[in-house]
């Protein structure tokens, strides 16, 4: 896979974090959408990392499953990826009417911090031509 295609995973991840932050500026804040985009940001960063390392992955939203593959390549990511697994339910839980109460503003802000940290740590382990 060409570097520009791999870099596109990380550009999408950055965009998801930007959208998450923007959703919290609404009145009232769109916390459900913010946490969804945090989950998406981490998922795409993990898939980009795996693509760079030519490691196949399934079509999944499960951050824990993707993290297991990433940790085989770089065990030093274990700590941040363990925390990120809590974002997995955000891929679906708030997407439809009748779901649980929206996440709190604090929960959404914590999710943004976690997603940004994961993205930063993953990107720091890649060559500059892959960095977004």
Q: What's the whole-number mean pLDDT along residues 23-34?
A: 96
User: pLDDT confidence of 93, banded at 50, 70, 90?
Assistant: confident
Range of the domain at 63: 3-95
Question: Is 86 within the bounds of a domain?
Answer: yes
User: pLDDT confidence of 124, banded at 50, 70, 90?
Assistant: very high
Q: What does pTM read for this prediction?
A: 0.94
Cα separation, 35 vs 64, in Å, equals 16
Question: Is 66 within the bounds of a domain?
Answer: yes
Question: Is 113 within the bounds of a domain?
Answer: no
Cα separation, 117 vs 109, in Å, equals 12
Cα separation, 6 vs 130, in Å, equals 7
**Cβ-contact 46, 87 below 8 angstroms:** no
Structure-token pair, residue 42? 């981490």
Instruction: Tally the domains of the chain.
Output: 1
């Amino acid at each position: 896979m060409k570097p520009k295609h791999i870099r596109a995973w990380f550009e999408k991840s950055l965009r998801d974090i930007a959208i998450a932050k923007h959703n919290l500026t609404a009145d009232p804040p769109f916390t459900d959408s913010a946490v969804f985009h945090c989950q998406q940001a981490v998922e795409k960063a993990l898939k980009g990392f795996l693509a760079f390392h030519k490691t196949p992955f399934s079509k999944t939203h499960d951050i824990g499953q993707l993290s297991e593959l990433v940790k085989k390549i770089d065990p030093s990511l274990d700590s941040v990826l363990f925390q990120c697994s809590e974002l997995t339910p955000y891929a679906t839980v708030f997407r439809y009417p009748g779901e649980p109460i929206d996440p709190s503003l604090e929960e959404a802000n914590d999710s943004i911090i976690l997603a940004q940290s994961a993205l930063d740590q993953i990107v720091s382990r890649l060559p500059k031509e892959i960095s977004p």
